[in-house]
Amino acid sequence: MTGFVFLRVRAHRLLLAAALLAVLLTTAVLATLTAFSGAIGDAALRQSLRTRSAADAALVVRTQVPPDKDDAAREEVEEGARRTFDGLPVRLRSLARSGTYALPRKERAGQGDKTDLTRFAALDRSRIKLVKGSWPNGSRGSSGSGGTVEVALPETAAAKLKLGPGAAPFTLTDRLTGPEVTVRVTGVYRPVDPADPYWQLDELGGRGVRKGVFMTYGPLLVTPSVLTGSRVSTEGTQWLATADFAGVTTRRVDALRDAATEGPAALAENRALGGNPSADTALPQVLDRAERALLVSRSTLLIVALQLIMLAGYALLLVARLLSTERGGETELLLARGGSRSRIAWLAAVEALLLALPAALAAPLLAAPLTRLLAGQGALARTGLRLDVSAGTGVWLAGLVTALGCALAVVAPALSTASGVRRSVRAPALPAPLRAGADVGLLVIAGVAYWQLDSRTSGSGALSDDRGGQLGIDPLLVAAPALALLAGTVVTLRLLPPAARLAERRAARGRGLPGALAGWQLSRRPLRGAGPVLLLVLAVAMGMLAVGQGASWDRSQEDQADFRAGTQIRVLGSRVADGEQAGVFGGLPGVRAAAPAVRDTMSLSDNRLATVLALDTAKAAPGLLTREDLGSGATISAALAPGRQRADAGAEPRAVVTDAFLDASGSRVGDRIQVPAGSRKVRVLIADAVPELPTAGAPEGAEAAAGPGGGAVLLDLPRLDAHLAEDDAGPLAPSEWWLTTGDGEAAQAAAALRSRPDIDPEQVLVRDEIAAQLRDDPLGAGPQAALLAVAAAAAALAAVGFAVSAAGSLRERSAEFAVLRALGAPRRQLARLIAAEQGFLLGLALLVGLGLGAVLTRAVVPLIVLTGEATQPVPPVLVELPVGRVALLLAATAAVPLLIIAALSLRRGDPKVSLRHEGGH
């Protein structure tokens, strides 16, 4: 029996080779997507915990224990940190500091009579670098000449105070009741990495200088022995615990989150840490964000994978149907000679397993190199993320299940043949399921799924909450794009008969034989080419979805950066004196215009809040980042223009609001509303409404605009101040500054801002930095690389199906072509006939696929492109289909079918062999 199976395989080796290629391609791609999803999730989690979220993921413990109990406290903190990080390896660093001391008047760099302050601190010297002089010596500092304490200054403080090694000793005064301390500067240091989480322990953040109510410098580096003695006052020790997340995977997230919630609470109640210890970490929130981003990434990959499964299944069914047709005579002969239908089905199953077994073994082995190849493409390559890929149990299981599914698709037509179902001699115009209305039913199902997906636009696309409020992937919503694609493709079958009749009528008007015969054949049997047409339609539409989703995601990251920042640089707050702010911000290098702004909120019904932003729109207009379809800067300026005319005494301030504000407040354009302006309420006219306003929907931190549905109100600040002056009220103090910079000069201006002691670096938002952070998010960029890979696999599967179908069609009609040759038809005309038929099918498929892909892309992409927080982006996604990429997609998809058409058209067959075979000789 084994020999007979191999004889059957050998007899139809080309078809089975095509089936093997399709099975291997499908299994390898899906196994790779499985490996890719797991690897990128783990790698992105580790990268986030070690880089952008490192400070939030650290544990900060503040204690007040006597110096003689510091070692015992360290042991308690270290043990508590291990519990907090669920047993991961922990590194502990400390910063012990003194109370505050006042600098002598002659050493002060501050202005006026206010006292300048400093502290002593014992720093972790692995976090700092000596740039001048020498490290302070503990024994000399405590018992040297005159009891002088040796210290090292931060580089920025040394520059401000004009102090350095060799400077004369000076005396510091304890701000409470302690004795004075004489210090001598021996060295100057700087942080190795100012962004290191360690500097959370320093009240100056490692910057060396900070301007607030008082000017503060430091800390003054001393040896630990200075703080354990009685020379200086102490305020306890702070500890920073960081974990080694190198081995963390997404499977450990739940356990790690629970430990990070319980561990700090236990440390805060540990009496061995002195009175009122505190322990804080934002690791649970970091893990929550990572988990949501991972769900978004996996839902995108699942959406793509389902589409590929659908295409691969149809391609395999097409190949298997052709194989079953080729074996029709053989199957009837076996049945006539006593072969049972179960035996025939068993033979088909064995052949299918022979196809599935190599794919099931090879696909997991190919998954690792293919995953690394994906990681080196597109936006993911920019992140520098290194994937640790291995063929784990999940990858092998995915390969096995996919291979068995492919085997079932291959054997299904043979099972139907073995069941005794015989086909009608005359082919109907439409398949039986379509005549029964299956396409309409499929459209209804797809419509319901799409409606469900669309109804979630307020939150999370293909994600949904379960009964416990836990966010997860909704199978129906994930399947919605695939169902819509399938429904649109199946409807294409109804287009084939009228398209074929139209082609026949147009060909009949011509004088050439090839066109007339091609039109007649297509009209007589329109469904003969339905298989390859549907495959190509699916491939083109999937490619369009991939191109559109990738381009739209890229555009969305840029739009989000624009609307979060509002302009090139936005300063959220500072300690610069009000009267000096305009000169300071306007005089920064690279800044072309500086616009003051005041941000406030107003309460609406249902506990909603709306953002009220008063901005000097005349100065901000050149750098205002908006989107034309959501309300351009010119539109906003025109609406506020009457309100900016300062000379128009008594003019009522005008406002531009968002559509969400109108919905939340029940207002309309032309209404007058009361908005807060400092401690007052001001009556303003709603002059216009736009879909979104910059910075009015930002989702994080100080950028957050309002509660859900609150919307925003934009006013012109100069006109608002003028209106307040008419009521004898003072102008509003700016809470923000919007800075417009020249091209390429934002980084220089931001560096100048962050170097100032009266501005905290985190208060400076730079549009280009936000965009880079969004673009380089591995969990956002990863699926974009997979999209193009799946599109390429879809094109390859379509090419295999088209080649098999075209070859089978030609073989089926070999006798017909032989008769035409015997009647004197030239080979050239037969070649044109084949080219005309196959070219018509190819052109129709590309045209329908292009239209279907464009429609689905514009309908589906805005619903499935989400932020890393699993929310809809602000502003909404603007769908883009770059013409160049679409043209390249069509050319790549059509390239192999065109080569196949050319090869079949130029193929030379012997008509005598075909006629003898047809005649049974």
If you write DSSP's letter for every residue of 429-481 in order, what string do you get? SS-HHHHTTHHHHHHHHHHHHHHHHHTTTTTTTTEEE-TTS-EEE-HHHHHHH
Contact indicator for 379, 784 with CB cutoff of 8 Å? yes
Residues 551 and 627 in one domain: no
pLDDT below 70 — which residues of the chain? 1-12, 106-113, 138-146, 326-332, 338-340, 414-439, 453, 455-462, 464-469, 496, 499-501, 503-529, 642-650, 697-709, 809-827, 829-831, 905-921
Handedness of CA 548, 551, 554, 557 (dihedral sign): negative
Residues 726 and 781 in one domain: no
Contact indicator for 251, 22 with CB cutoff of 8 Å? no
Q: Which candidate, 628, 616, 598, 865, places its Cα nearest to that of 735?
A: 598
| 759, 793, 821 - which closes a domain | 759
Residues 810 and 915 in one domain: yes
Q: Are strands 215-221 and 116-122 parallel, antiparallel or unpaired?
A: parallel
Within-domain flag for 312 = no
Q: Which candidate, 121, 98, 107, places its Cα nearest to that of 235?
A: 98
Within-domain flag for 644 = yes
What residues contact residue 672 under an 8 Å CB cut-off, 6+ apart?
Answer: 652, 683, 684, 685, 686
Within-domain flag for 338 = no
Can you tell me the distance from the alpha carbon of 348 to that of 139, in angstroms, rounded to the nearest whole number? 89
Q: Which domain holds residue 701?
A: 574-759
DSSP 704: B
Residues 556 and 591 in one domain: no
Within-domain flag for 549 = yes
**pLDDT value at residue 529:** 65
Locate 583 and state its tokens.
Answer: 């000169």
Residues 597 and 626 in one domain: yes
Can you tell me the distance from the alpha carbon of 690 to that of 693, in angstroms, rounded to the nearest whole number? 7
Handedness of CA 714, 719, 723, 729 (dihedral sign): positive
Contact indicator for 277, 270 with CB cutoff of 8 Å? yes
Residues 556 and 660 in one domain: no
**pLDDT value at residue 515:** 57
Residues 795 and 887 in one domain: yes
Locate 511 and state its tokens.
Answer: 């004088």
| 198, 216, 237 - which closes a domain | 237
DSSP 920: T
Q: Is the peptide bond before 757 cis (omega within 30 degrees of 0)?
A: no
- pLDDT digit string (tens) for 736-781? 999 999 999 999 999 999 989 889 899 999 999 999 999 888 888 8
Beta bridge partners of 657: 689, 713
Exposed / middle / buried, residue 261 (Cβ in 10 Å: 0-12, 13-18, 19+): middle
Within-domain flag for 164 = yes
Contact indicator for 658, 689 with CB cutoff of 8 Å? yes
- pLDDT digit string (tens) for 799-830? 888 888 777 766 666 666 666 666 666 667 66
Residues 550 and 599 in one domain: no
Residues 785 and 755 in one domain: no
Locate 547 and state its tokens.
Answer: 């191109």
Within-domain flag for 801 = yes
Contacts 24+ apart (CB under 8 A), 425-429: 427/525, 427/527, 427/528, 428/527, 429/497, 429/526, 429/527
- In the chain, how many domains are there? 3
Within-domain flag for 330 = no
Residues 863 and 909 in one domain: yes
Global pTM value: 0.84
Backbone angles phi, psi at 415, to 5 degrees: -65, -40
| 237, 267, 299 - which closes a domain | 237
DSSP 195: T
Can you tell me the distance from the alpha carbon of 582 to that of 586, in angstroms, rounded to the nearest whole number? 6
**pLDDT value at residue 707:** 43
CA-CA-CA-CA dihedral for 360, 362, 367, 369, to nearest 10: 180
What residues contact residue 473 under an 8 Å CB cut-off, 6+ apart?
Answer: 295, 298, 299, 302, 462, 463
Within-domain flag for 335 = no
Residues 773 and 745 in one domain: no
Residues 639 and 721 in one domain: yes
Q: Which candidate, 151, 903, 853, 918, places its Cα nearest to that of 545?
A: 853
**pLDDT value at residue 336:** 73
Orientation of helix 341-375 relative to helix 393-418, angle to 10°: 150
Ordered DSSP codes for 610-646: EEEEEE-HHHHGGG----GGGT-HHHHHHHHGGGG-T
Cα 722 from chain centre: 45
Beta bridge partners of 211: 215
